[in-house]
Amino acid sequence: MPVLYPRYARHLSLQNFGEAAQSRLAHSGALIVGLGGLGSAAAVYLAAAGIGRLVLADFDRVDETNLQRQILYRMKDVGRRKTQAASAALRALNPTLEVEELDGRLADAKLASAISQCDIVIDGSDNFATRAAVNQACLARRRPLVSGAALRWEGRLAVFDLREDDSPCLACLHPDMSESLETCERGGVLGPLVGVIGSLQAVEALKLLTGTGTPMSGRLLRYTAHSGRFSEFSIGRRVDCPACRDRSAAG
């Protein structure tokens, strides 16, 4: 068993968490799809919290414009592969963390293999094609999916516990994922906003991995930074959902 004291003392004294949850976390793994602003924040908090393994997937290199919001990187990382820079930063934060780097676009067998080796998936990607593929792969392998998005002044978080037959999936919320998402490059994004949503993704992942608290399954949380307001909506499973209507055949 990994050494829990003193590093995780605040978790161990936390009501309804404690040593049992910390130990479960140490034996858990998460796939993070996209190491931008959302993935950066989620990865930092999961690594610091004591997760045992992170699989980091991204195809991009660090650009100077990323540094406004992607807190894993420093000026010295500009031009490096994001997977390499992120891996080094996370290992420096927590040397006991096991990290796997998946450099390049995830698709088909590579995506299926990555998800099969992890307990949960955190999606911080910036296009519907990737989101749709990740959702379908999580459905097929019954993995919980924590999805985040941020643009301009607004961020969104949704949790899909696809281990449960009655859980909605991402396609229940967005039936048509063939359209293009507007990017931060064109629309802009407030730097700390992605940190808020990415941190919330880490919170939800910790709850799902340790069996503590009440995950936000089947709910969409929207945060409008400009006005400082949170709002919440229920997500129901659609009987005509193109992705999960035949879920009984998945497994």
Domain ranges of the chain: 16-249
Whether the predicted pLDDT of 184 surpasses 80: no
CB-CB contact of 37 with 199 (8 Å): no
Q: Three-class SS of residue 19?
A: helix
pLDDT of residue 179: 57
Please calculate the CA angle 71-67-54 and round it to the nearest 5 degrees: 35
Q: What is the DSSP string of 92-147?
A: HH-TT-EEEEEES---HHHHHHHHHT-SEEEE--SSHHHHHHHHHHHHHHT--EEE
Whether the predicted pLDDT of 181 surpasses 80: no
> Which one has a higher pLDDT value, 184 or 202?
202
Task: Supply the pTM of this predicted model.
Answer: 0.94
The average pLDDT across 145-161 equals: 96
Question: The dihedral of CA 4, 92, 35, 114: what is its sign?
Answer: negative
The average pLDDT across 108-124 equals: 95
Written as six digits, the tokens of 215 are 């995950």
Domain 16-249's class?
A: alpha beta
pLDDT of residue 207: 98
Written as six digits, the tokens of 139 are 């459905």
pLDDT of residue 249: 47
Q: Summarize pLDDT for 56-66 with one digit per residue, the tens.
A: 999 999 999 99
Whether the predicted pLDDT of 202 surpasses 90: yes
Contacts of 56 (CB under 8 A, 6+ apart): 32, 35, 39, 43, 82, 83, 86, 87, 90, 99, 100, 101, 102
pLDDT band per the 50, 70, 90 thresholds, residue 24: very high
Contacts of 187 (CB under 8 A, 6+ apart): 151, 152
